[in-house]
Amino acid sequence: MREVILAKTAGFCFGVKRAIDTVYEQVDSPKDKNIKVYTYGPIIHNEEVVNDLSSKGVDIISNKEELDEIISKKNSQDKIKVVIRSHGIGKDVYDKLENAGIEVIDATCPFVKKIHRIVGEESSSGKTIIIIGDEKHPEVQGIKGWCENTPYIVDSVEKAEKISENISDDIVIVSQTTFNATKFQDLVEFFRKKYYNVCVYNTICNATGERQKEVKELAGSVDAMIVIGGKNSSNTQKLYEISKKECRNTYYIQTLVDLDLTVIESAKRVGITAGASTPNYIIKEVQDSMAELSFEELLNQSEENGNAIKPGSVVEGKVIGVKPDVIYVDIQYKADGIVTRSEYSNTPGLDLTTVVNVGDPITVKVIKTNDGEGQVLLSYKKVAAEKSYEKLEEAFNNETVLTAKVTQVLEGGLSVIVDECKVFIPASLVSDTFEKNLDKFMDQEIEFVITEFNPKKRRIIGNRKKLVVAKKAEAAKKLFDSIKVGDVVEGTVKNVTPFGAFIDLGGADGLLHISEMSWGRIDDPKSILKVGETVKTFIKDINGEKIALSLKFDDANPWANAAEKYAVGNEVTGKVARMTAFGAFIELEPGVDALLHVSQISTEHTEKPEDAFKIGQEVTAKVVDFKQDEKKISLSIRAMMKEEVAEEAAPEEVAEVAEESTEE
C-alpha cells in the first residue's frame, strides 16, 4: 500500500493566514455596505483565493499608476479601504494613501515590518544596504521603498561580484523572508570575505527555514514528491528547487487538476508539501487522491506478498551475464534480475566488466519485481551500503575523522563514497568561508566528520568545515600566543580592497590599512599589492582577534634624517604632487611633502599655482622653514631668485636687495 507523507508545515504560514483573514473580515461583515475594498497587489500568490475574493467584490491595485488613477477619480464621499498584503509596500505608497484620505488596513507580515524598520534606521546613518532576494518580488520592492539611500539587490554570487567594487565598506545585509537559507549563507560568506565591516540580519522567516529544512529531509526519503502552490509563489518555487535536488520525481502543481496520477503509480512513498499561500482544502484533495490505490496496485501487492522475491528482500544469486553498464543475475525466480551500473556502485562511469565475472556469486537487494520489461531490478550497492552503516554510525557517535575521495561536485555541495555509502557534504559545510569553485575538490582526498546520520532517510551528512574551523582555531591560538605588538611577521596577501589588504599570517588575518602601506601617499592598494604575494610587515596593534599591520618601518622613516637633508637654507628638488588655492605641495621623497606657498613661487605676482606648474613637474626651491615635530617644510623659489639677483647686482645694490629680503 502506498504511504503518503504530508509535511507538517505545509500550507498557510502565520503572516499569510493573517492577511487573508483580514480581507475576508472586511468583505464578509462590513459595517458600511458602500465601502469599496481593494488589496494592494494580489493578497497571496494563489489564483483560487484571489478569484474567490474577486467574486466578493475585492479588486486589486496592481501598481502605483492604478493607485494614482483611483485617487484622481475619488471624491470626498467615496469610502475606500486598501488592505496591504503580507509582502508589505514602500513608504512612498503609504504616504500616497494617507494623503489621499484612504483608510489603510495593514496586514504586512510582522517579520517583513521588522526588515522595513532595520533598513530605514541603518540607511539613515549612511550605511550601504544589501537586500538578498528576488529583485522583482513585491516583498523586496517594499523593503527597497524603506531605504533612505539606494540599496543593492542580489540573489546570486555572480550578481554580488558585479556590484562588489561599487560599494563602501560599511555594509548591512538583510534577506527576503522566503529566500533559500543555504544561498543566503553563501552570499553572506562572500561579503564577509570581501569586506571588513559587515552587519548581517538573518531575516529569513523561521517558518520558511523550517519549511525548507523539512522538505529537504522529506524529499530525500520518498519515491515521489508533490509540491503544491501558485505559479508566482516565490516560497513555493524554492520548495520545488530544494525538493528536486533530493528527489528527481518532484512535481509542481497548483491544484489536483494539474497532477497526472500516472507519474506516481509505481511510487511506494509519496511526500507532499505546499507553499505558504496554499489553502488547506487544496492540500487535502491532493493528499486524499494519493492515498487511493488502483486495482492494478492492489493486484501487484497481492502477488508480491505471495512470493519470496519482493521489494526489500535480500537474495543470493549468480552472475549470468555482464556488460559495461549492467549485470544479469539468476535469482531462482520466474524472471532474471538486473543490476545497473548505478545500483552496483556510486563510482561514476565504472565499467562493470572489470569488477564482475560470469559465474560469480552475488548478494543483492530487490528494488522492484518488475522494471517494466519483465525483469527484477536489483541493487548490490544497497547491500554493501547497509554493511557499512555500522561503521559510519560508529564514526558519527565517536566524531571520528574520515577520509574519502570526492566523486561528484554537485550544485549544492560535494559527494564522497565511504564503502559504497554516499556521504553528502553541503557547500556551506565544505569550508569556513564561501567556496565559489567547488570543482577544485574533484578527485581530491578530503577529511571530514559525520554530523548527521539517518540511514532510514538515506541522509548522511559530512562536515569538513568543522575540521577547518578547529584547525584554524588551533593555528590562531598558536599565533596569538607567539606574537606581540612590534613583531615583524611574514604573511600572504589574501584580499585587496580599496581601504587596504588582508594578510594571512597563518592562523589569523591581519589588516594592512592603506594609510600604513607606505610613508608616501598611496591612491590604490592594488597598485602595490597582489593576491598571493608574500609580504613582510610589523604588528602595529592587537585588539582582541583583530591584528593591525604596518609597512611603515622606523628605519625607512624619511623624517628620521630630514633635519639635516632639509635644513633651512638648503636648496632641494622635488616634483609637484598636488595643488591647492594657496600653493603647491612638492614631494621631496616618498613620505615627505613640502609647501611652496603661492606667494613664494616667483618675485612677480602669481594668481594660482596652476599658472606656473603642472602635476609631476620637477621644481627646485630653497628651504625657508623646517618643523620636525609637525612634519612641515616650507619652500621658496622667490628667495632663491632674489639671491641670484643680489649676486649679479652692483655693490651699491647688494645692500638694498639684502635689506628687502630681510624685511620679508
Q: What is the pLDDT of residues 180-233, one digit of tens each?
A: 888 999 999 998 888 888 899 999 887 777 888 899 999 999 999 999 988 878
Residue 660 reports pLDDT greater than 70: no
Average pLDDT over residues 275-294: 73
Res 650: pLDDT: 45
pLDDT interval class at 32 (50, 70, 90): low
* Position 352 pLDDT exceeds 90: yes
To the nearest 10°, the Cα dihedral for 635, 636, 639, 645? 130
pLDDT at residue 119 above 90?
yes
Instruction: Output DSSP code: residue 440.
Output: G
CA-nearest of 587, 638, 652, 651 to 617 is: 587
Question: Residue 345's beta-bridge partner residues?
Answer: none
Q: Which domains does the chain have, with CATH numbers?
A: 110-204 (3.40.1010.20), 303-379 (2.40.50.140), 395-463 (2.40.50.140), 483-556 (2.40.50.140), 562-663 (2.40.50.140)
Buried b (16+ CB within 10 A) or exposed e, 443-473: eeebebbbebbeeeeebbbbbbbbbbeeebe
Please tell me the least confidently modeled range out of 21-35, 84-98, 297-311, 597-611.
297-311
Q: Which entry of 139, 241, 343, 435 is annotated as an active-site residue?
A: 139
Q: How high is the pLDDT of residue 653? A: 44
Average pLDDT, the chain: 85
> Could you give the CA distance from residue 214 to residue 233 in angstroms, rounded to a whole number?
18
CA distance 175 to 132: 5
pLDDT tens-digit map of 610-654: 999 999 999 999 999 999 888 899 999 998 887 776 665 544 443
Query: 554-571 burial, b if ≥16 CB within 10 A, otherwise e?
Result: eeeebeeebeeebeeeee
Angle between helices 651-663 and 637-648 (to 10 degrees): 160
pLDDT tens, 506-539?
Answer: 888 999 999 888 887 888 898 889 999 999 999 9
Q: In this predicted model, which residue has the larger pLDDT, 170 or 580?
A: 580
Residue 659 pLDDT grade (very low, low, confident, very high; cuts 50, 70, 90): very low
What's the rounded mean pLDDT across residues 339-360? 88
pLDDT greater than 60 at residue 307: no
Bridge partners for 619 per DSSP:
574
Could you tell me the pTM of the whole model? 0.42
**Residues 381-437: tens digit of each pLDDT:** 888 777 777 788 888 988 899 999 998 888 788 999 887 788 899 988 998 877 878
Instruction: Lowest mean pLDDT of 265-279, 365-379, 523-537, 577-591, name the range.
Output: 365-379
**Could you give the C-alpha distances from 326 to 231, 340, 549, in angstroms and in order?**
40, 4, 62
- Quick check: 598 pLDDT over 60? yes
Any catalytic annotation for residue 139?
Answer: yes
In percent, how much of the chain has pLDDT > 70?
90
Residues 6 or more apart whose CB falls under 8 angstroms from that of 644 comprise none
Q: Strand 3-6's sheet: what is its strand order?
A: 3-6, 269-274, 224-228, 250-253
Give the residue-averaged pLDDT of 139-159.
93
pLDDT of 647? 62
